[in-house]
Amino acid sequence: MVIDILRADPKIELVGCIDKDPSLRSVARLPVLGDDSLLAGLHAQGIQHAFIAIGSNRVRQQLGQQLESLGFRLVSAISPFSWISDSAQLGDGVAVMPGAVINAEAKIGRLSIINTGATVDHECDIGEACHIAPGSALSGNVTVGKGTFLGTGTRVIDAIEIGPWAMVGAGSVVTRPLPGRCTAVGVPCRVIKLRTDD
């Protein structure tokens, strides 16, 4: 999906993917150049930009720090079929997939994913390395802490606060604040686990 979006951007020339699987030759017709050990050399050869297309919020956040410490700048992959308000603010390295809508004065933290058809309404504040899965709908003034995952079709009523590294099950309707590092599911959404991991 990210390759499709980046290919549609005339300012971007894709040179290849990095992957830890040595048997992988290409992804969506883009060659796999090798594993992470190539990164420093690629940067030295003049490749200045990278995008991290990894689903795990924690791994994406860690790789973001690693790439920036090597000197890469993180580009964003914004689908031309999404809609983003002029007054919204997006951090570096975000993915905004087709059909996503980001409304007025919303903030999207670096390395977050706003997936297919998800809507983030006015003045929402989404932290770093979050994933708002397909078809989710966040009403106005919702705050989502860093690293949090909202499963497919999550609904959140307005002005709710969800803590960092939370996991919200697909189809949940969040009507009360949720603590950090919880797993919560259902309609209405209830906490079923408090975790120590990210």
- Interacting residues with ligand ACO (CB under 6 A): 115, 133-134, 151-152, 167, 169-171, 183, 185-186, 192-193
Pick the closer one to ligand ACO by CB: 33 or 54.
54
43 is in an annotated binding site: no
Q: Write down the least CB distance from residue 127 to ligand ACO, Å.
A: 18
According to DSSP, the β-strands at 89-90 and 149-150 are unpaired
Residues marked as catalytic: 122
Pick the closer one to ligand ACO by CB: 17 or 133.
133
CA–CA separation, 121 vs 118, rounded Å?
Answer: 10
171 is in an annotated binding site: no
Is the alpha carbon torsion for 72, 62, 5, 25 positive or negative?
positive
Q: Order of strands, edge to edge, in the sheet holding 26-27? A: 17-18, 30-34, 26-27
Pick the closer one to ligand ACO by CB: 103 or 115.
115
Q: Write down the least CB distance from residue 15 to ligand ACO, Å.
A: 25
- What's 55's DSSP letter? S
Q: Write down the least CB distance from residue 56 to ligand ACO, Å.
A: 11
Tokens 């499963």 belong to 151
Pick the closer one to ligand ACO by CB: 17 or 53.
53
153 and 171 in contact (C-beta within 8 Å)?
yes
CA–CA separation, 53 vs 182, rounded Å?
Answer: 25
Q: Write down the least CB distance from residue 135 to ligand ACO, Å.
A: 9
Question: Would you state the structure tokens that stand for residue 132, as one six-digit string?
Answer: 């708002």
- Annotated binding-site residue numbers for acetyl-CoA: 131
